[in-house]
Every structure is written in structure tokens, then in C-alpha cells.
Structure 1
Amino acid sequence: MKKPIFLEPLFQERIWGGNRLSKIYGYQTPSNQTGECWAISAHSNGQNVVRSGELKGKLLEDLWREYPDLFGHFESDRFPLLIKILDANEDLSVQVHPNDDYASEYEYGELGKTECWYIIDCDENADMIFGHHAQSKEEFIRMVDNGHWNDLLQRVKIKPGDFFYVPSGTIHALCKGTLVLETQQSSDTTYRVYDYDRRDDKGNLRELHLEKAIEVTTVPHVTSKVEPAFIKMSGGSIITFVEEDYFTVYKWDVQTEMELMQDAHFLLASVIEGEGTLCTEDGEYALQKGDHFILPHDLDSFKIKGTLQLISSHPNYKGSQHRKMESTARRQMANI
């Protein structure tokens, strides 16, 4: 099949959520505390359905299982990635995620959670928590036990267009006034370290997961350097933000018309700004801000016309020598 697969977004209410998903993207959200748009997901805690076409109404998990040709027979027992848009109307809890090995053993076979963030928008002078200052596990535990959060937590300034790579084991928290597109492993495992003593709608303090958090946190903190690669093209540009074990993430900035190639197993794409048209050999498809779609394996080339920005990604095989060889070959071809 050489047709794009458009998906219906799914929404999750959160104590820290707001109304920007509705105001900016026109989504029909459940309330003014909607924190997450699950845009492309086959996770059991929230699955998207196909919006239109011959596969309309099917769950993404069903496509993964029943139509492996769409995904180039990618070697995974589950759909590997999860794409979200997060509206942090208030500070999120300070948290950390496990890696694959820990999650598989202690979270009933769940994947670990390495993720990354593209800052769509944020308040002026906004910041976020990204890392910590402890130099040993003992110091980390002591500062947590004594509630020395200002001394422990590392804050960084952010602005629209910033990109952050957040490997498992990284202490982090989005803060008030931030709108983010998140690309992550397909996991819903989060260990809360600190939650500002907030209470849920029943008046109870929200649960923390300190024992597991201490076990999985990287100490001392390691900042993963992001070195985006910019390519100017006829009609626009491409930024490659990160290419790592689990995923590669791009920004497509279309000014007039860009012709692109599909050289991954499949591509995921989200329109974060503007509007235009996706053109394939099968036909033309209108694109507008807030659309999310999958470009299947057999869709080799396509054009995007208009003035719009998209964040796109594809999964990678962790530690796969074959994947590294393919990547090397593509770079060599590009230099010919």
C-alpha cells in the first residue's frame, strides 16, 4: 500500500494539563486539564485508530500485527515508538525512566523509555529541569531524603525550536508554560522523584517511586550533546536532530515544495505549524496543523507542498550492525 495512514489523536487528562491543545490545534479535548495528545501510539494505555481510507477504524496495534508489509517487517514484537504533544500548563513531576533491561524485569515486560523533546512553544524565560548535581549515589540519596531540591536539580533555559535528547536514567521535568512534541520508545513507565507535595482530586498526595527511581537514575548526570545537522533543499530544509539506538528525529521545514525519499522502514510525521499538501503517486492529501500520519514502507518518494513545519521520525534497531551499515552506506552515497 502506497497511501499515507492518518490517525485520530487520543487525549489524556493530567493534573498539570491545560487548554492549548484545543486552542492551538483545534482538537476536541475532554477538559481544560488536557495534558497529552497521544498522536501516534499502539501502546495498550492509549491506541490511535486510523482516521480515513480503507483501513478506517482499525487500531494501530492491529495494523502492526496484521499488515507487516506496511512497516517493512520491522523486527519488533510491538510498535516501537510513541509520539505525543504535551501541554505543561503547570510543572510536571520530577521524574526518571528505566532502560529496557530494568523495565523488562520489573515492569512486566514493558520497554524502557528513552525520549526526546522539540519545544514547539514556551513562555518567555521558561526553563525545565534537566539533570542533577549529585556526584555519587550516596549524595543523590541524601539530597532526596533531606528535600534539598533546589541544590539537587539542574535547571536549563529553553526557547521555541530547542531540542533535547533524554536518555533513560535522566532526571527531568517539563515546567509551566511549555508545549512540546515528544518522540519516545513505546512505554508508559515513569518513576516520580518529587511532585511539589501536590494532591490528587481525592486530596491524597500523589505517589512517588523513590526506590525504583534511585536504582535507575544515572549518577553523576551525563548531558547528551545534541548536534543537529542542517541540509538546505530546494523549497525548504531538513534538520536531523538525533540519530541514536531507538530513533532518528527530523524537522521538515517546507517553504514551497520539497521532494523527499523514504529510506527507512516507515516514517512517522506530525504537522506542528502551517498547512499544505502531501503528494504521492497515489494521490494528494491535505495537511493542516495538528495532523499525524505514517508513511508506510512501500511509499518510496513523496512531495510536500505549502508552508508548513513537520517533526518526523523513524525507529532504529538498537545495537544493530545492519542498521549502522545502512546508515554508513547512505552517508557515503550522499558524498558521491
Structure 2
Amino acid sequence: MEAFEHFYRGGAAISRLRGGPARGERSPEEWLASVTPRSGAAPLGLSALPDGSLLRDAVAADPVAWLGPTHYARFGSDTGVLVKLLDAGERLPVHVHPSRDFARSHLSCPYGKTEAWVVIEAEPGAVVHLGFRDPVGRAELAELVERQDSDRLLELMHEVPVRAGDTVLVPAGLPHAIGAGVFLLEVQEPTDFSILLEWDGFALDGHAEGHLGLGFDRALDAVDRGPLPHDQLKALHREAAMRAEAADQPRELLPEAAAPYFRAELVRPATRATIPSGFAVLTLLEGQGRLGTSHGAELAVAGGDVLVLPHAAGPLWLDGDVVAVVCRPAEPQHAERTSTAVSASLMS
């Protein structure tokens, strides 16, 4: 797993969950089972296996064993997903991620950065900011960014209270900011693309770093400036999704609109839960239990453990009084849909 310094503060909640040495005040993220490097800073972001080799290299060496023949036939040796722990010790700046279409056209990449959040902890009164309440003109947005008018940017956005157990889908193009006191598990497309609408007061230079090298005149084309109606906002935010009763089958935590990008499933065994085969990142959030294979191998697991599951391990089982999240890439049949179609279904 990979942790490194960022421009915003946080990290204490990750230390409480994962253990290990104390983190610096600017270590608010840990990238889990990552084959995605930090933008412009490789090999930062790439996860190592217990023997010290990079997961990226192991997958490239035997992609069918890691990813399965169906995934490999559709995507090659690309895992198609990135998972992080993120602890917002302060509010993050307002920013946006490009869509697949924008990334293909301007960044030579097949992936944009739709993402979703599984809220692990939230301080009383914690909020996130999602989308604009009313249409924002292109010139108005450009002026707000140039002026770094944080108050006005936040005033234009929806403020959404969140609690532990909620999930939120954030489509590419949607302006957003995570509020202070929110600790979450993030599943996303495998890129590190961000366009900053705000940076004043943070430890970065938005004029240099905030536009993906495109210049703001082009980068702002990635922003969805239309209004996000309340019914569509509600469809993105699933309250108490993680507080479902125990069951022996994984339960999808995200709305159907996430399916072309990734999956996130709750595993809370009633007796013994089945985890279907396929590449996945398993994050244990609480409790103690056992993870086993159909061949008789078993491993004791506990809250804070993170495991990367190869397809070749076959179906697995998990028992004990545990709560876990399994993050997976999109199923190939769902991934045929484009980000444009999904954005239209959510935002039109």
C-alpha cells in the first residue's frame, strides 16, 4: 500500500484504522493495491507486494491469473480501478475531474475520474459539497477561479450532510469538495487527474498545477456548469448504505450509474459470506474473522487489513463479526457504456 504527502492535512484516522508508524500531518491518503502512479511523480502511488515487487509488474507478468480471462479480453492487463483511504483533516478545495471523453480528447487517456465515497467516519456536522444549485456561466466560473472567490464557489454548490455509513457517487465533471472531519474509502477510475477551481490557502500553486497542463481556458471545459437538481443529488447520495443487516452475499453500495466504472460491495457475514472470484481490493473496516478458499486455505483477518484478491484465488469466503468493503473494476458488459451516456442520465 502506498502513502505519501499531499497538499492538504489529515491522516490520523488512517493511522487508527491501519496501525503502523505515526503519519505526518500531510499524509491524508493511502492508495490501496494501486497500479496507478501519482501524476507526474511515478513511482509514487504504486503499491508493493509483501516481497517488495510492484503489484503493477506482477499483474503485467500474469494478467489472466490476476484479472481473469474475461476482464483480460476486454481491458488487457489494466486493472481498471483505484482504491484509496482518504482522511480529510481539513476541507479539500473545490475541484473537478475530467470525463473519459475529455481525457481521450485532451489527455491521451481512456479513463477520466468518476469516483465514489464510502464514508467510514464523519464528525458531527460534517458535509460534502456537490454540484451547482443553479447554472453557472462560463465567464462567471472563470472569474471566480481567477479571483479565487472560495466563499462564492461554495455558496453556489449543494452542501450535503454526511454520516458514517453513507455512500456518494461523484460523476466526472461534477464540482465537489470533501469537508473536514470526513474519513472515507474512495473507489475511482485509475487516474490522478484533478482540475482545481480553488487553491487559495492550500499548499499548492493552482496557476501551475490546477489545469493538467492544458491552461484554464481549456480545462474549464471539463466542468459541468449546469444545475444538479435535488432528485438527482439524492440519487447520488445513499444514506446509511453501509448499515444494512448482515447477509451471506455481497451487497452493492453504489447506484447503478456507477456500474460502467467500478463496483463497491458491502460484506457483513451473517454466517459465512461468499466473495465471488475476480480481481478485487478487500478492505476490512472492523471486527475479526477468517478469509478462506475452496481449497482449504485460511487467513485470520481483522479491521485495518487490506488484501488484493487475484482472480486465480477463485471464490472466497469470509466469516466472523466483520465489516468489509470489496472494490472491483466494472464488469466488461457494463463498461461498454460511455461516460457521456451516464452523465446524460444523471444530469439531464
CA contact (8 A) 2:115 2:186 kept: yes
Matched residue of 1:49: which SS?
Answer: coil
Say whether residues 1:253 and 2:302 are aligned partners. no
Structure 1 contact 198–205 (Cα < 8 Å) conserved: no
Structure 1 counterpart SS, 2:28: strand
Residues 259 and 154 of structure 1: is their aligned pair in 2 closer, same or farther, counting only changes over 3 Å?
closer
More helix per residue: 2
Query: 1:167-195: per-residue Cα shift (whole Å, max 9, x none)?
Result: 10010111111101000011001111012
Question: What does residue 109 of structure 1 align with?
Answer: 109
> How far 1:266 sits from its partner (Å)?
2.5
- Is 2:247–2:269's contact at 8 Å kept on the other side of the alignment? no
Q: Does 1:183 align with 2:187?
A: yes
Q: Secondary structure at the match of 2:191?
A: coil
- Take 2:57 and 2:179, find their aligned partners in 1: how far apart are those partners? 35
Note closer, same or farther for the CA distance 1:95–1:230 as it changes in structure 2 (3 Å cut). Answer: same
The question of 1:219 aligning with 2:225 is answered yes
Change (3 A) 1:239 1:320: closer
Q: 1:154 aligned to 154, 158, 165, which one?
A: 158
| Partner deviation per Cα, 1:253-302 (whole Å, 9 max, x = no partner) | 235x3231415x43321111222110112411121222222322233332
Q: Which amino acid aligns with 2:163?
A: K
Is residue 239–residue 252 contact of structure 1 (8 Å, CA) maintained in 2? no
User: Partner residue of 1:173?
Assistant: 177
Q: Quote the residue 1:21 is aligned against.
A: 14
What SS class does the counterpart of residue 294 from structure 1 fall into?
A: strand
Q: What is the percentage of aligned positions where both structures have the same residue?
A: 24
| Equivalent pairs, count | 307
Q: Following the alignment from structure 1 to structure 2, what is the Cα–Cα distance between the partners of residues 136 and 149? A: 10
Preserved contact between residue 231 and residue 239 of structure 1 (Cα < 8 Å): no
Q: Is 1:303 the counterpart of 2:309 in the alignment?
A: no
Report the CA distance shift for 1:32/1:206 in structure 2 as closer, same or farther (over 3 A).
Answer: farther
> How far apart in 2 are the matches of 1:191 and 1:36?
18
* Coordinate RMSD, CA, aligned: 2.9
Q: Structure 1 residues 91, 302: closer, same or farther in 2, change over 3 A?
A: same
Give the secondary-structure state (helix, strand or coil) at the position aligned to 1:298.
Answer: helix
Q: Please list the CA deviations of residues 142-189 of structure 1 after superposition, one character each: whole Å capped at 9, or x if unmatched.
A: 555563224322211111111000110010111111101000011001
Q: Distance in 2 between matches of 1:304 and 1:196?
A: 46
Greater strand proportion: 1
Give the conservation status (yes or no) of the 8 Å contact 1:43–1:187. yes
What TM-score, normalized by structure 2, do the two folds share? 0.78
Deviations 1:35-72 (A, max 9, x none): 10111210133111122xxxx33311112211122211
* CA distance 1:79–1:220, shift in 2 (3 Å): same
The CA distance in 1 between the partners of 2:164 and 2:263, in whole Å, is 20
Aligned twin of 2:87: 87
Task: Quickly say closer, same or farther: Cα 1:171–1:312, change in 2 above 3 A.
Answer: same
The CA distance in 2 between the partners of 1:321 and 1:180, in whole Å, is 25
Tell me, which stretches of 5 or more residues in structure 2 are unaligned?
Answer: 39-44, 338-348
Give the letter aligned to residue 96 of structure 1: V
Instruction: Kindly indicate whether the alpha-carbon contact (under 8 Å) linking 1:118 and 1:163 is maintained by their aligned counterparts in 2.
Output: yes
TM-score, normalised with respect to structure 1 = 0.80
Aligned counterparts, 1:194-205, within 5 A: 194-200=198-204
Secondary structure of the residue aligned to 1:62 is helix
Partners of 2:227 and 2:333 in 1: how far apart?
23
